[in-house]
Structure 1
Amino acid sequence: MNWLVNIAVFGIVGAVIMAALIGLLLVLGSRTGGRGPQAVFGAVSLVVLIAVPALAAVNLLNTAPDTGFGLMFLVAFGVALVICAVNIAFLPLVARRAAAGRGEELAAGPRLSPALLGGGVLVCAVLGLVSAGVGLVVG
């Protein structure tokens, strides 16, 4: 049951960090018209998407030293899924705000398609592999 607790705790922490980053992007993006805040947001998001699942994997390894790479990957993958779900949930808000900042009207808004969701799961799997590898090296 310890791995489920790790997914919940680190997933919530990562989701809160990501929501705060999105809020900062919305505030800074409306003040500045350039691509600077978006580039910084992308870089920090990548760090969060690797560091928080890696911390969950390291925590799992420290609490259960006999843990294998497979369970570390599943925990990191679960945490990455929770964090990415927050990104997907806030996507319409960010798109509307960006369109309003450019003076445009958002037509239909972004729609979730099976291809988008499948691509998101694939990206989360890659992030889980990288994070579990980082956790294995660090832990």
Structure 2
Amino acid sequence: MIHVNSLVDIVVFGIVGAIMMAALVGLLLVVSGRPGGISPGLQKAFAAAALALLVAVPTLGAIDALASGAGFWTAFAVAACVAAVVAGVNIALSPLVAKRQGGTAGVLTPSLPVFAVGLVLCLALGLVATALAALFV
């Protein structure tokens, strides 16, 4: 039964994180449409908010998994999958922001190295989130 709960955790926290990330990117799109564009300080604030979201939502998923009696590795799998969903939404919507700002420089194109780096980052985020969750539970 723990495996079903972990799948539910992935779906629930993945959807919540995806919606929150889409809302953050949408807000960035609105702000970048101003005549003056977006200032570097505001770009850093949005990057910090996205990073906080990429850590907080998987941590909450791992906390829920650990609180339901799952082990560390199950909580790690939940956190890594939730981080992958949230990061996937961020990567999928980033070309919209780049197009709105008038350039496509710096936009990642899907390739095997990009997916490999993304996988490693999601696993690292999952490990950090599970370690944080273990401190809270």
Structures share a fold, TM > 0.5? yes
- The answer to whether the aligner puts 1:2 opposite 2:5 as a matched pair is yes
Give the corresponding residue for 1:76. 79
Q: RMSD in angstroms over aligned alpha carbons? A: 1.6
CA distance in 1: counterparts of 2:52 and 2:109, whole angstroms: 26
- The answer to whether the aligner puts 1:133 opposite 2:131 as a matched pair is yes
What are the residue-to-residue correspondences of 1:1-139 with 2, within 5 Å?
A: 1-31=4-34, 32-33=36-37, 34-64=39-69, 67-99=70-102, 106=104, 110-139=108-137
CA distance in 2: counterparts of 1:26 and 1:39, whole angstroms: 15
CA distance in 1: counterparts of 2:32 and 2:40, whole angstroms: 8
C-alpha displacement of 1:60:
1.0
C-alpha displacement of 1:111:
2.0
The number of aligned residues is 131
Where structure 1 has 5 or more consecutive residues not aligned to the other structure, the ranges are none
AA of the residue aligned to 1:113: S
- Tell me the TM-score normalised to structure 1 length: 0.88
- Tell me the TM-score normalised to structure 2 length: 0.89
Percent of counterpart pairs with the same letter?
A: 45
Where structure 2 has 5 or more consecutive residues not aligned to the other structure, the ranges are none
> 2:66, 2:72 within 8 Å by CA — same for their partners in 1?
no
CA distance in 1: counterparts of 2:26 and 2:15, whole angstroms: 16
C-alpha displacement of 1:110:
4.5
